[in-house]
Structure 1
Amino acid sequence: MAPKWWHDAVVYQVYPRSFCDSNNDGMGDLRGIISKLDYLKTLGVNVVWLSPVYKSPMDDNGYDISDYQDIAPEFGTMADMDELLEKAKQRDIRIIMDLVVNHTSDEHPWFKEARKSKDNPYRDYYIWRKPNADGSVPDEMGSVFGGSAWEFDEQTGEYYFHIFSKRQPDLNWENPKVQEEVHKMMNWWIDKGIGGFRLDVIDLIGKEIDNKITGNGPRLHPLIQQMNRATFGNKDVLTVGETWDATPEIAKLYSNPEREEFSMVFQFEHISLTWKNGDKWTPIPLDLPALKRVLTKWQVELADEGWNSLFWNNHDLPRIVSKYGCEGQYRVESAKMLATTLHMMKGTPYVYQGEEIGMTNVAFDSIEDYRDIETLNFYKERTANGVSPDAMLAAVHENSRDNGRTPMPWDSSDNGGFSAVQPWISTNPNYPQINVAQALEDKDSVFYHYQKLIALRKSMPVIVYGDFQPVFEEHEKVFGYLRCDDAQRLLVLSNFSGEAVDIDMPAHLCGVEVEPVIHNYEAHTYLPTQVTLKPYESFAVLLPA
C-alpha cells in the first residue's frame, strides 16, 4: 500500500458544543476551539475532526443540517470558521468536517419546498409514499430513535421517510439532482482548505425503502465511487465513513485504494460487544476473548486490502474507561492500558475530547438532566412498555450518548472552566479531580501517556505498517500481540483486569533483554519465563531482532 500522510496521523475529535465556550452563553463554539489549538498541538495530534457546526435547529445537536454552507450562530460565523482553518494550518493541524448527507433538517430550504406540493421541483429530493388504504403508515419500518420511520405531512397528504428523528427527513439519493447538489457543496468546502470529511451514516445512502433495505444497499458503492470522482478523489484529503454494520469484507470495499472510495471507515463491532443481542439499552459485561477476536479479525483482514480506524470513544459512545476499564481505583492505569492497546495497532487512531485525560461516564440523578434525543426517546418508550425507571436509568448511565457530551473540564473552577455560566448540559461532577490543568501538572498523567503514544507512532514505522500477530489469544484477562516488520519486533501486553495476573511467556518471547517503549507501571527491561502483570498493567517492548 502506498504511504499516505494519514497513515501515521492521529485524529482528535472535537464536539464543539461541549469543548470550550468563549462567549459565556453555556455552549462551546469555534472561537473556543481556536483558543485551545495550542493545547492540541502540545498533545501532538495533527488532525481535528469537527462534529457538525453547520446551521441547524439542533434537534439532534447539529446532525440535522438546515444550511450546509453556513455556520450555526451558536458556534460563531463563517469568518470564525475561516480563522480556525488558517490558525490550525499554522500549527500543522488539518480540520476534517463531519458531513451528514443521508438526511437534512426539516428546516432545510429543500425540504421546505418539497412539502409545499407534490409537483414541487424539490419534491423528489426526499422519499415520499402514499398512506395505505386505511390511512396507516406505508410499512412497519422503525426509526433508530424509536417509533415509526414514517411521518405524515398534512399539507400534501403523504408520508416522508426518516431513519432518525422526524425532523431529519432522508434524502433521495436516487435523484441525480441530490447527488449534484451534495457534490457541489463538498467541493465548496474542499476549496476552503479543509483536510477531509467524516461522513455520518454514509452506509444508508444506498437504501431501497420498498425492499426494506437501509444499510449497505446495492447502489451504495456506486454512489460512493461517483462521489469520489466528483469531489475528493484527486485531492490529498482524509475521508472516513461511519458504517455501523460493516464487516471486514464490506470495509475492504470502502477502503481498498484500488476501489477509489474512502480512506477508511468506522466499524463498531468491538463497541457493541456489551450490548445484549445488539440492544445498547440492555448492557452486559465485556467478554475479553470476544473483544480480542474482533480486534484481531479487523487487524488481520484489512492488513493488505484496506485501512483501519482505531477508536474507543466518540460523541455517540460512553467513555471507554468506564466501559472496558476501571473508573475508580485504577482509572489512570486502565485509561493508559486502553490507550496503549489501541494505539499500538495498525490503523489511524482517533482520540475523543477528554479521553486523553481519562474522563469517565456521568451518572445524573434524573432523566431530566439528560439532553440526548435518543436517550430521552428510548427512556420514554421503554418505561411506557414496562421497563422500570430505575433499570432504564441504569442503562442510560452506562450507554447514553450524553456520557461523551458533558463539557470538557479545563480546570477545577466552576463548570470546569468550560464556561462562566451553566452549560447546556451539566458538567461531570468529578471535574475538580479530572481536568486538563491537573493533567498538565502531573507528568505521570493520562495526558502525557497519550502524548508519548502519538509521538511513537510518528517515529516508529513498525507501529504504522508492521504485521499484527496475536499472542495469548484465549487468555481470559490478557490481550497481547506482536507488531513486526523487517527491522523490528514490538510486543504489547495488556491486563484487562483489576487483579494481578501471572502469564507464562512463550519460549520465543522470554529470557531476553528488551527495550522499553511505553508502560503504565515500571519499565520492563527483561522478560522472564513468567511475567506478573499488575492490575490493568500494560507495556510495549522492542524484542531483539
Structure 2
Amino acid sequence: MIRKWWKEAIGYQIYPRSYLDTNHDGIGDIRGIIDKLDYIESLNVNLVWISPFYPSPLDDNGYDISDFKGVDPQLGTLEEVKELIEKAHAKGIRIILDCVLNQSSDEHPWFIESRSSKNNEKRDYYIWAQGKDNQPPNNWGSFFGESAWKYDKLTDEYYLKIFSDKMPDLNWSNPTLRQEMADIIRFWLDLGIDGFRMDAIAHLGKDMTLTDSTLESDERGIAYDWSKFSNRPQLFDYLQELHQKVFSHYDIVTIGEVGGGAKFPEGYKYTNPQNPSIDMVFNFDHTWHNMPYGYEVLTPEKFNTNVIALKEDLDYWIQNSQKHNIHPPMYWLNHDHPRVLSQYGSLDYHRESGSMLGMVLLSLPGTPFIYNGEEIGMTNVDYTNPKDFKDVNTRNYFKNNAHRLTIEQMMNHMRYTGRDNGHTPMQWNANQHAGFSTTTPYLKLVSNYTTINVQDQENKEKSILNTYRTMAKIRKDNIQLFAYGTFELIDAKHPDLFIFKRQFNQEKYILIANFRDYEVPYQLPKYQEVTFHNYDNLANAKLRPYEAILLKES
C-alpha cells in the first residue's frame, strides 16, 4: 500500500455558476466560493474540484473555452482565483480544476485562425476534412445526437466536433498543439492548484483514417460509434507524454473522465502503476446502468432502481481496482447527471433516502466526491416550460424528437435525465432566490428550495447535511480502513439491500442500506457498536424505507 494525499481525500465538486452569486447578477462566482469556505470546511471535505470558470460563450456550460488561461469576467478575476487557492490551502483544502483538453470554443483565437484558410499555422490544431457529395466526410455521430461534423463555408470543409457545433475538437496528433496544451497545464500548476479533473480525455485519440462506421445508422445516416474517437491507442501516448513532461514534476492528482464505453481494462491503461498516465479515472457504469440516457421516453415504471445491477457495477470496478492496486474515485453524480436523490431516492422519504445515499458513498473504497447540493438532497427540476431548460443537449433533444414525441413526453424525459437537473442554483435558505442571489438566477430554481435548503438542515442532527458531515468525519478518523481497506459485497443478489463489509487489518465495518421506499425483512448481524444510523432507533427484524446502518464489528 502506497499512501498518497489524494487517496485519503474527501472531494467536493462545485459548479461555480450555480454556487453563490456575490455581485448580484444572478450568476455564481469565484467570490461566492471564497465566501463559503467556512461552510465547505464544515463538510469535513479536504479537496474541492471546481468546474470551468474560463472565458466561454457558454454553449455547453463553460466546457467550450475561448481562453484556456483566463477567468470569465462574469465569474471573477485571476487574482480572486489566487485568493481562493491561498485561503483554501490555509484551511487544509486542496483545489483542483477542470482541465478541458478535447476541444475549444469555436470563438477561441486558435479556431478563428484555423478556419480562415487552408494553409495557416493553426489549421492543423483542429481536424478538417472534405465532404462527400455535399454530405459530411463520414457517418460518425456526436454525443449530442447529431453528425460529428460541421460544415464551414469559409474553406468549404468540415471540422470534427464530437460534442456541440461550437466545440471543435483539437487535433492531438499535432505535436505543436500538444505543446500548447502542456504549457496551459503548467500555467495553472504554477499558480498553485493541486491537480485536475481532465474532461473527456477518452476522446483525445481519433481514427484519423476517418472511415465510416460499420454500425447501423439512424434515419439520417448517422452511426453512433464511440469507438471511432474513444480510448484509442494513441491516446495513451499523448497522456504519458504529459505525465513525463508535466504531471510528474508536481505533487498533484490527475483524474480522467473516461467514457466511450470503457470497462476496467481500458481504465487500467490510464492508471497502470507500472506505466502511469494519470492517477484515477471516473467511469459511468453505475450511473448509466440504472439511468437510460438514450431517446427512450421514461415512465416511472422504467425508472425503478435496479439494485442488483448497481451493486454489480460498483463491485466490478472496486474489485478490479483493488486487485491491480488502482485507486478509484467514487461518486453518485456530477454536473452531467441528474440529481441522485431523484434517481435513487424519494421525495416522500427525502431525509431518509438522502442520508442513506450519503452513508453508502462515504463508506465505499477510493476517493469519494460529493456534488454541491447532494449534501442537502437537492432534486431534479420541476420545470413546466421547455424554455426553462438551457442545456445544449436538451435543446438538441427537443429539436431532434419534435417529429415523433409530444412536448410533454420530451419534458418528462428531460425532467428525469437532463443535465440542467444538476445545474440549478444551490439552495442556501428559504428566502427569495434561495439565498443564492439577490436577483433572478440565470437558471430557474427548483421550487422546493423553501423546504430543501442548507439553513433548514443546519441544526437537525440527522438531516442529510449533518449525515454527510458526520460520515465524512468518521471516514477521516478511520481513513486507512475506508481509503485502503478491502471491500466485500454481501448478499449480492438481494434485490433491495446494498450490504458490504470494509476491513483493514483487524478493524471491520459493515454498511447496510435499504434502497426501497418500503420495509424489507432483515435480521441485523450481531455487531457490538452502531457507529451511525439514519433512524433514531433500530427496528426488529426489518429495515425501514431507506434505512442505513453503519456497524463496527466487536
Task: Quickly name the TM-score band, shorter chain normalised.
Answer: over 0.9
Q: For 1:70, what is the secondary structure of its paired residue?
A: coil
2:339 pairs with 284, 298, 319, which one? 319
Question: Are 2:57 and 1:57 aligned?
Answer: yes
Query: Which residue type is aligned with residue 479 of structure 1?
Result: F
Question: Are 2:15 and 1:5 aligned?
Answer: no
Question: Are 2:281 and 1:265 aligned?
Answer: yes
Question: Which residue of 2 is the match for residue 115 of structure 1?
Answer: 115
Find the aligned partners of 1:389 and 1:155 in 2 and give their Cα distance.
37
Find the aligned partners of 2:194 and 2:380 in 1 and give their Cα distance.
31
Find the aligned partners of 2:522 and 2:463 in 1 and give their Cα distance.
27
How far does residue 437 in structure 1 lie from its aligned partner after superposition?
1.0
Question: Are 2:161 and 1:162 aligned?
Answer: yes
* Mapping of residues 14-163 of structure 1, within 5 Å: 14-132=14-132, 134-163=133-162
Find the aligned partners of 2:483 and 2:474 in 1 and give their Cα distance.
10
Q: For 2:469, what is the secondary structure of its paired residue?
A: helix
Find the aligned partners of 2:131 and 2:462 in 1 and give their Cα distance.
62
Q: For 1:449, what is the secondary structure of its paired residue?
A: helix
Judging changes above 3 Å, is the alpha-carbon distance between structure 1 residues 29 and 276 closer, same or farther for their aligned structure 2 residues? Answer: closer
Find the aligned partners of 2:375 and 2:338 in 1 and give their Cα distance.
14
Query: Which residue type is aligned with residue 262 of structure 2?
Result: A
My pick for the range that moved more, 279-288 or 48-57, is 279-288
Query: Which residue type is aligned with residue 174 of structure 2?
Result: N
How far does residue 470 in structure 1 lie from its aligned partner after superposition?
0.9
How far does residue 126 in structure 1 lie from its aligned partner after superposition?
0.2
User: Is the 2:140–2:148 Cα contact (8 Å) retained in structure 1?
Assistant: yes
| TM-score, structure 1 as length reference | 0.95
User: Is the 1:151–1:161 Cα contact (8 Å) retained in structure 2?
Assistant: yes
2:430 pairs with 412, 428, 438, which one? 412
Query: Which residue type is aligned with residue 521 of structure 1?
Result: Y
Q: Which segments of 5 or more consecutive residues in structure 2 lack a partner in the other structure?
A: 214-227
My pick for the range that moved more, 202-211 or 98-107, is 202-211
User: Is the 1:412–1:431 Cα contact (8 Å) retained in structure 2?
Assistant: yes
Find the aligned partners of 2:103 and 2:177 in 1 and give their Cα distance.
11
Question: Are 2:485 and 1:466 aligned?
Answer: yes
Question: Which residue of 2 is the match for residue 234 of structure 1?
Answer: 249
Q: For 1:257, what is the secondary structure of its paired residue?
A: coil
How far does residue 249 in structure 1 lie from its aligned partner after superposition?
1.7
Judging changes above 3 Å, is the alpha-carbon distance between structure 1 residues 11 and 280 closer, same or farther for their aligned structure 2 residues? Answer: farther
Q: Which segments of 5 or more consecutive residues in structure 1 lack a partner in the other structure?
A: none
How far does residue 85 in structure 1 lie from its aligned partner after superposition?
1.0
User: Is the 1:143–1:164 Cα contact (8 Å) retained in structure 2?
Assistant: yes
How far does residue 443 in structure 1 lie from its aligned partner after superposition?
2.4
Find the aligned partners of 2:510 and 2:164 in 1 and give their Cα distance.
46
User: Is the 2:428–2:434 Cα contact (8 Å) retained in structure 1?
Assistant: yes
How far does residue 147 in structure 1 lie from its aligned partner after superposition?
1.8
Find the aligned partners of 1:215 and 1:146 in 2 and give their Cα distance.
16
Question: Which residue of 2 is the match for residue 517 of structure 1?
Answer: 531
Question: Which residue of 2 is the match for residue 435 of structure 1?
Answer: 453
1:492 pairs with 499, 502, 511, which one? 511
Give the total of aligned pairs: 532
RMSD after superposition: 1.6
Q: Deviations over 1:189-227 (max 9, x none)?
A: 101000100011100001214145111111111111111
User: Is the 2:31–2:76 Cα contact (8 Å) retained in structure 1?
Assistant: yes
* Mapping of residues 169-184 of structure 1, within 5 Å: 169-184=168-183
Judging changes above 3 Å, is the alpha-carbon distance between structure 1 residues 486 and 280 closer, same or farther for their aligned structure 2 residues? Answer: farther
Question: Which residue of 1 is the match for residue 220 of structure 2?
Answer: none
Find the aligned partners of 2:9 and 2:537 in 1 and give their Cα distance.
26
User: Is the 1:516–1:523 Cα contact (8 Å) retained in structure 2?
Assistant: no
Q: For 1:469, what is the secondary structure of its paired residue?
A: strand
Find the aligned partners of 2:383 and 2:60 in 1 and give their Cα distance.
20
Question: Which residue of 2 is the match for residue 539 of structure 1?
Answer: 549
* Mapping of residues 184-203 of structure 1, within 5 Å: 184-203=183-202
User: Is the 1:233–1:260 Cα contact (8 Å) retained in structure 2?
Assistant: no
User: Is the 1:319–1:403 Cα contact (8 Å) retained in structure 2?
Assistant: yes
How far does residue 464 in structure 1 lie from its aligned partner after superposition?
1.5
Find the aligned partners of 1:487 and 1:83 in 2 and give their Cα distance.
44
Identity %: 39
Question: Which residue of 2 is the match for residue 454 of structure 1?
Answer: 472
User: Is the 2:293–2:417 Cα contact (8 Å) retained in structure 1?
Assistant: no
Query: Which residue type is aligned with residue 74 of structure 2?
Result: E
Judging changes above 3 Å, is the alpha-carbon distance between structure 1 residues 277 and 235 closer, same or farther for their aligned structure 2 residues? Answer: closer
How far does residue 279 in structure 1 lie from its aligned partner after superposition?
5.0
User: Is the 2:290–2:310 Cα contact (8 Å) retained in structure 1?
Assistant: no
* Mapping of residues 241-260 of structure 1, within 5 Å: 241-244=256-259, 245-260=261-276
Find the aligned partners of 1:233 and 1:284 in 2 and give their Cα distance.
44
Q: Deviations over 1:275-308 (max 9, x none)?
A: 4485576564221111111111111111132111
| TM-score, structure 2 as length reference | 0.93
Query: Which residue type is aligned with residue 262 of structure 1?
Result: I
User: Is the 2:527–2:551 Cα contact (8 Å) retained in structure 1?
Assistant: no
How far does residue 231 in structure 1 lie from its aligned partner after superposition?
1.2
My pick for the range that moved more, 407-416 or 496-505, is 496-505
Find the aligned partners of 1:444 and 1:490 in 2 and give their Cα distance.
20
My pick for the range that moved more, 161-170 or 449-458, is 449-458
Q: Deviations over 1:26-57 (max 9, x none)?
A: 10011111110110011111111010011111
Q: For 1:351, what is the secondary structure of its paired residue?
A: strand
Question: Which residue of 2 is the match for residue 444 of structure 1?
Answer: 462
Q: For 1:227, what is the secondary structure of its paired residue?
A: helix
Question: Are 2:362 and 1:346 aligned?
Answer: no
In the TM superposition, structure 1's runs of 4+ consecutive aligned residues that sit over 6 Å from their partners are: none
How far does residue 519 in structure 1 lie from its aligned partner after superposition?
1.2
1:333 pairs with 339, 345, 352, which one? 352
